[in-house]
Structure 1
Amino acid sequence: MKALIQTIIEPLVDHPDSIVITEKDEPVKVVYHLEVHPDDVGKVIGKNGRIAKSIRTVVYAAGMKSNKKIYLDIM
């Protein structure tokens, strides 16, 4: 799942080296924390959060195979 998030985010940002994805695995859910360079936060979130919502939709759909709920937090 980290590779999928990385693949989606890299073309959007100007500083792909500063992308940090951490995974927190809990009994009923998996939480991914995405951190990007401060200059790229607006590009990842998008106008009115549209890009962030689209990224979350793709990640949630990819996580449907597992029995756990998938969450993506953008820091």
Structure 2
Amino acid sequence: MEALITTIIQPLVDHPEDVIVTENEESNKIIYHLTVHPDDVGKVIGKNGRIAKSIRTVVYAIGSDEKKRIYLDIM
């Protein structure tokens, strides 16, 4: 899942080398923390959060096979 998120985000940003995805697994959920260069935060979030919502939709759809709830935090 981390590779999928990285693959989606890197073409969107100006600093693809600064894309970091970490996973934090708890008892009933998995949280992915996405960190990008400060100049690229707006590009990842998009106008009115449209790009962030689209990325989350893809991640949640892929992760629907898991028994745990999946979350994506953009930092």
Question: Structure 1 unaligned runs (5+)?
Answer: none
Match of 1:8 in 2: 8
Q: How do 1:1-75 residues align onto structure 2 when only pairs under 5 Å count?
A: 1-75=1-75
The letter for the 2-side match of 1:67 is K
User: Structure 1 segments of 4 or more deviating over 6 A?
Assistant: none
The letter for the 1-side match of 2:66 is S
The letter for the 2-side match of 1:53 is K
Q: Residue by residue, what CA displacement relative to the aligned partner does 1:5-53 show, whole Å, maximum 9, x if unpaired?
A: 0010010000000011110000100000000000000000000000000
| Partner Cα separation in structure 2 for residue 52 and residue 2 of structure 1 | 16
| Partner Cα separation in structure 1 for residue 44 and residue 11 of structure 2 | 10
TM-score, scaled relative to structure 2: 0.98
| Partner Cα separation in structure 2 for residue 66 and residue 23 of structure 1 | 14
The alpha-carbon deviation at position 67 of structure 1 amounts to: 0.3
User: What percentage of aligned pairs have identical amino acids?
Assistant: 72
